[in-house]
Amino acid sequence: MKSIQQNIKEIQADIPKGVLLVAVSKTKPIEDIQAAYEIGVRDFGENKVQELQQKFETLPKDINWHFIGHLQTNKVKYMAPYVSIIHAVDSLKLLQVINKEAHKNNRLIKCLLQFHIAEEDTKFGLSLEQAKEILDKLPELQINNIQIVGVMGMGTNSVQEEKVRKEFNNLKLIFDELKKTYFQNTSEFSQISMGMSQDFKLAIEEGSTMVRVGSTIFGNRQYV
Ligand SMILES: *Cc1c(COP(=O)(O)O)cnc(C)c1O
């Protein structure tokens, strides 16, 4: 079996400059994260609040923690003191809670709006219409402690390349539309988080700026 460090080097060789590799370390032990950290990885993705908390406490404080899972509003307060970016924001309520908790901590938390682009209806996310409703309301709400930096989506878990490519292209079009309508003069709105182990190369071809790669780096996950 190849080492974590070798896996990362191979993936980095496939990623152009300007695309960030987020190493998805969920379910994996501290030592695995340390191995990645040693060769310079600083961006890690987690999807469970408690697990993230434990890892944050143990590991170096210059890590950028990406929360990539579905987030309940009552859990935001635990990560607000340190989380760098929340990938899966799918409601105005959640944005408001993140803002409130970020304000308490005197921080600015980056957020991505999650879109539903896959065919599976189990995957969370907004439609373009729903996102516009949220963005139309934002200006009156005095939301100053979050920064919406882009969009996030998950393609269908499928080997049909053309299908997944179309979904990624759809997310890119959503990004372009929102940029034009709401964020024309906002340089921070610049990120498209799409692509995982099996489809990150495809996602990059379709405009991804952040790939979230887990099992190709750390091996398959075992859930108990
Ligand atoms: C688990 C997870 C990933 C990483 O998946 P791999 O297939 O292991 O690369 C990426 N994004 C999200 C939202 C995840 O939950």
Distance 213 CA to ligand 1 centre (A): 6
The pair of three-digit structure tokens given for residue 196, joined into one six-digit string: 């995982």
Using a 10 angstrom Cβ sphere, with 0-12 exposed, 13-18 middle and 19 or more buried, the burial of residue 96 is: middle
Q: What is the pLDDT of residue 2?
A: 81
Closest residue (by CA) to atom 4 of ligand 1?
214
Q: What is the pLDDT of residue 9?
A: 98
Q: Mutation test of ligand 1: which of 49, 68, 196, 210 has the most ligand atoms closer than 8 Å to its C-beta? A: 196
Q: What is the pLDDT of residue 224?
A: 57
Q: What is the pLDDT of residue 222?
A: 81
Q: What is the pLDDT of residue 159?
A: 86
Q: What is the pLDDT of residue 1?
A: 62
Q: What is the pLDDT of residue 174?
A: 98
The pair of three-digit structure tokens given for residue 56, joined into one six-digit string: 């944050």
The pair of three-digit structure tokens given for residue 142, joined into one six-digit string: 């005095």
Residue 158: count of CB within 10 angstroms of its CB: 15
What is the rounded distance in angstroms from the CA atom of residue 168 to the CA atom of residue 203? 6
What is the rounded distance in angstroms from the CA atom of residue 202 to the CA atom of residue 51? 30
Closest residue (by CA) to atom 14 of ligand 1?
68
- Residues lower than pLDDT 50 in the chain: none
Provide long-range contacts, Cβ within 8 A and 24+ apart, for 91-97: 91/134, 92/133, 92/134, 92/137, 92/138, 95/134, 95/138, 95/143, 95/146, 95/148, 96/141, 96/143, 97/73
Q: Which amino acid is at 69?
A: G
User: To 10 degrees, what angle do helices 49-58 and 30-38 make?
Assistant: 60
Ligand 1 shell residues, CB under 6 Å: 24, 26, 47, 68-69, 154, 196-197, 212-216
Q: What is the pLDDT of residue 119?
A: 82
Distance 104 CA to ligand 1 centre (A): 30
- Contacts of residue 141, defined as CB under 8 A and 6 or more positions apart, other chains included, come to 96
